Amino acid sequence: MVCLPHHQPISPLIWTNDSQVPVLDDVRDITLVEAHKHELVALISYEDMAPPQLWKLEILKDRENGRESSRLALR
């Protein structure tokens, strides 16, 4: 069982990690495209024979100070 702070125990069989980050060690090419209005995606190709991966680039704006940050989500 996994216990998260201030949460009930979670079975490791159903626990998932929502945080994903692309491995950028062997990246050959990154292509950014505006797929829809205000939606950016990144196609990441690698040096080896691994297939390219499609990631959604989310731009987040802090409501308090107006600063922007971004995160990647695997599609």
pLDDT in tens, 37-70: 878 999 989 888 889 999 998 888 888 888 988 8
Taking the domains of the chain in order of start, what are their residue ranges?
23-74
**DSSP codes, the chain:** -EE-TTS-EE-TTT----------TTEEEEEEEEEETTEEEEEEEESSSPPPEEEEEEEEE-TTT--EEEEEEE-
The reported pTM is 0.59
Query: Within 10 Å of residue 55's Cβ, how many Cβ atoms?
Result: 20
CB atoms within 10 A of CB 59: 11
pLDDT surpassing 70 at residue 12: no
State the pLDDT at residue 35: 87
